[in-house]
């Protein structure tokens, strides 16, 4: 199934890198936005199959944009692409309705997996993000 993907990132180099990465997947088209406001507008106008949002963008950040996109399209699959594996940001993103959390350092390995996971209703966390949550919520081992 060919997908239509919206990529929101203020860096043209990152936009191009993601576009190249998605060529290896079954992606029909890639729209790009340079900031959160443009991402929200394009998501509403074009209803892509998946939206990939950078966290740090001018104006609205990726989480703020996700909230607005979800208001108009509650079922739209959203992925946050970020350099941060901070526990609080992961929690905020998931509460905002983001279903894919991909660390930029893992994007080459994880972005396509995340794309198809969220498109099919699953949640995807990069291993680095999963590790943060695992370490936070893992009970202390019983060594007795």
Q: 4-48, pLDDT tens digit by residue?
A: 999 999 999 999 999 989 887 778 889 999 999 999 999 999 999
pTM of the model: 0.91
Return the closest-CA partner of residue 130 out of 92, 100, 96, 97: 100
The CATH number given to whatever domain includes residue 97 is 3.40.50.2300
Instruction: Identify whether 21 is part of a domain.
Output: yes
pLDDT exceeds cutoff 90 at 102: yes
> Does a structural domain hold residue 144?
no
* Contact yes or no for 65/73 (Cβ under 8 A): no
Q: Characterise 121 by phi-psi region: left (phi > 0), alpha (psi -120 to 50), beta (else).
A: left
Among candidates 55, 58, 6, 53, which has minimal Cα distance to 27?
6
What's the domain range around 127?
3-137
Please answer whether residues 69 and 46 qualify as being in contact, where contact means their C-beta atoms are separated by less than 8 angstroms.
no
């Amino acid at each position: 199934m060919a997908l239509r993907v919206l990529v929101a990132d203020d860096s043209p180099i990152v936009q191009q890198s993601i576009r190249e990465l998605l060529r290896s997947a079954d992606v029909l088209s890639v729209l790009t936005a340079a900031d959160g406001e443009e991402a929200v507008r394009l998501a509403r106008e074009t209803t892509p199959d998946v939206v990939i949002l950078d966290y740090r963008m001018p104006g609205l950040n990726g989480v703020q944009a996700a909230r607005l996109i979800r208001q108009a399209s509650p079922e739209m699959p959203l992925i946050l692409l970020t350099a941060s594996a901070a526990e609080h940001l992961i929690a905020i993103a998931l509460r905002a309705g983001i279903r894919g959390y991909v660390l930029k350092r893992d994007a080459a390995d994880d972005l396509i997996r995340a794309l198809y996971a969220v498109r099919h209703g699953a949640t995807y966390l990069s291993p680095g993000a999963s590790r943060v949550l695992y370490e936070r919520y893992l009970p202390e081992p019983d060594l007795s």
